[in-house]
Amino acid sequence: MHADLDAFYAAVEQRRRPELKGRPVAVGGAGPRGVVMSASYEARAYGVGGGMPTVRARRLCPELVMVPPDMDEYAVVSANVMAVLHSFARRVEPVSMDEAYLDLAGVGIKPRALAELLRGRVRDEQDLALSVGVGPNKLVAKLASVAAKPDGLLVVAADEVEAFLRPLAANRLPGVGPKTADALTRFGLLTVGDLADTPRDTLRRIVGAAAGDLLTASARGEDPRPVVPQRAERSLGGERTFPADVSGDHEVIHTTLLGLAGQNAARLRAGGLAARTVTVKVRFADLRTVTRSRTLPEPVDLAHDIFAAAVPLFAGLVPARARIRLVGLRVEGLDGGARPTQLALGEREVGWAELERTMDRVQAKFGAAAVRPASLITRSPQAGNFSGAEVVDRSERRGHGRPQRATAHAPRQPKSPG
């Protein structure tokens, strides 16, 4: 089974602001450089979609309501939905905040009835629409859930796979992006059925050996991947695009790094993780992007430690008088378990670890704005939400070789998060 929440971020905002129901809503940045993260189906009817510049989205839909993202709220809602999914199956593989695969082996309820129960639970408990696809493997289940949207259910039995797949457009298959689709179109291969009828060797010549083999298997509805109950996070991070370019010594740089450090640290602690590597990303006004990383002597899960590592990294990346468009902060080399602590001679027994864990408890009860570093208090709620721009650029999740370096100037001492 593939379960997928419909227009997740936008749906959460419509849920907590009833006046937005039935209106075109998009979650994302409202400024001239803003990007749409999620769009309601009312907005999608105008052509608005995720990853689209906000300026273009407003041109397509003048009545569009832009809402700043609240990643903390989305994480809580996601956890609640995942808890419902886990109550229906032993093996659940979250793919993202809003979708997951379920292995139905050993479940004593017929798939359609189970899916209806699950959809009803999510609707009753979370007031959200869940589209569900059921099939003999991940590939078919995913394609079925996409076909069922919005707020639908489709079950594809093993003997129905061929009839279901053949009429689908070829670009519905995984791995068929714009370039691959163009190559297939030049040879008249427009549907999954066309691919299924094409010899493997021919597909390999058109798109390459690995892609050709994948297309052949997918067109036949073959997918051996199991449902993996839990995927270990390899990295966590976020980034912020400024409404206007700022200088490298502007105070907003430090408050942004501090906000991102706090966000990453809270996510680490919530997952029982610690990180060994801190990576800072900078995009200049000319769109040149550079990164620099530092591996720490021991794993960390505190904003104080992450921020202290990030500030000199940033200073070493940015030449004098540079104009900055975007700043990102990522933690990598994640490891489970409690962070080891070793008191230095004369060090206080109670310090940053106790402070930040106390902040976790206060924020869990009273909200993220209840307590935070003093330097962030003067920032507006929208400006203080540092997670919204993460969808703009996810390339740092993959390795791209040695980080590019810019001319360095003398690093400044990190400021205290207080």
Distances from the Cα of 372 to the Cα of 196, 389, 406, angstroms: 57, 21, 33
Per-residue pLDDT at 256 exceeds 70: yes
Q: String of b and e for 323-332 (b: at least 16 CB within 10 Å)?
A: ebbbbbbbbb
Tell me how many helices (H) and strands (E) the chain has.
16, 12
Q: Looking at residue 249, what is its pLDDT?
A: 79
Q: What are phi and psi of 43, to 5 degrees?
A: -75, -35
**Which carries the bigger pLDDT value, residue 408 or residue 249?**
249
Q: Looking at residue 143, what is its pLDDT?
A: 97
Q: What angle do CA 90, 93, 98 make, to 5 degrees?
A: 120
Around Cβ 13, how many Cβ atoms within 10 Å? 24
The residue-averaged pLDDT of 271-280 equals 88
Per-residue pLDDT at 294 exceeds 50: yes
Q: Looking at residue 376, what is its pLDDT?
A: 63
pLDDT band at residue 375 using 50, 70 and 90 as cut-offs:
low
The residue-averaged pLDDT of 115-139 equals 95
Per-residue pLDDT at 338 exceeds 80: no
What residue has token string 């199991």? 226
Q: Which range, of 238-242, 301-305, 354-358, 391-395, averages the lowest pLDDT? A: 391-395
Q: Looking at residue 393, what is its pLDDT?
A: 30
The residue-averaged pLDDT of 367-382 equals 55
Largest CA distance in the chain: 75
Cβ neighbours for 304, distance < 8 A, ≥ 6 positions apart: 352, 356, 416, 417
Q: Looking at residue 333, what is its pLDDT?
A: 86
Q: Looking at residue 121, what is its pLDDT?
A: 94
- The answer to pTM > 0.85 is no
Per-residue pLDDT at 405 exceeds 50: no
The residue-averaged pLDDT of 271-284 equals 89
pLDDT band at residue 161 using 50, 70 and 90 as cut-offs:
very high
**Which carries the bigger pLDDT value, residue 147 or residue 238?**
147
Q: What are phi and psi of 226, to 5 degrees?
A: -85, 165
Q: Looking at residue 352, what is its pLDDT?
A: 62
Pick the closest to residue 149 from 172, 126, 167, 170 (CA basis): 172
The residue-averaged pLDDT of 114-131 equals 94
pLDDT band at residue 133 using 50, 70 and 90 as cut-offs:
very high
- What one-letter code names the amino acid at 306? I
**Which carries the bigger pLDDT value, residue 393 or residue 371?**
371
Provide the CA 353 distance to its chain's centre, in angstroms.
27
Q: Looking at residue 361, what is its pLDDT?
A: 66
The share of the chain scoring above pLDDT 90, in percent, equals 51
- What one-letter code names the amino acid at 196? A
Catalytic machinery residues: 99
Q: Looking at residue 314, what is its pLDDT?
A: 92
Report the alpha-carbon distance of residue 182 to residue 205 in Å, rounded.
14
Q: Looking at residue 73, what is its pLDDT?
A: 83
The residue-averaged pLDDT of 26-45 equals 91
Average confidence score pLDDT of the chain: 82
By the 10 Å C-beta count (0-12 exposed, 13-18 middle, 19+ buried), 113 is classed as: exposed
Structural contact between residues 15 and 70, judged by C-beta atoms closer than 8 angstroms: no
Q: Looking at residue 363, what is its pLDDT?
A: 59
The share of the chain scoring above pLDDT 70, in percent, equals 79
The residue-averaged pLDDT of 125-140 equals 96
Report the alpha-carbon distance of residue 238 to residue 306 in Å, rounded.
13
The residue-averaged pLDDT of 191-218 equals 94
Write out the two tokens for 135.
């099939």
- End-to-end distance of the chain based on CA atoms, in angstroms? 47
Q: Looking at residue 412, what is its pLDDT?
A: 38
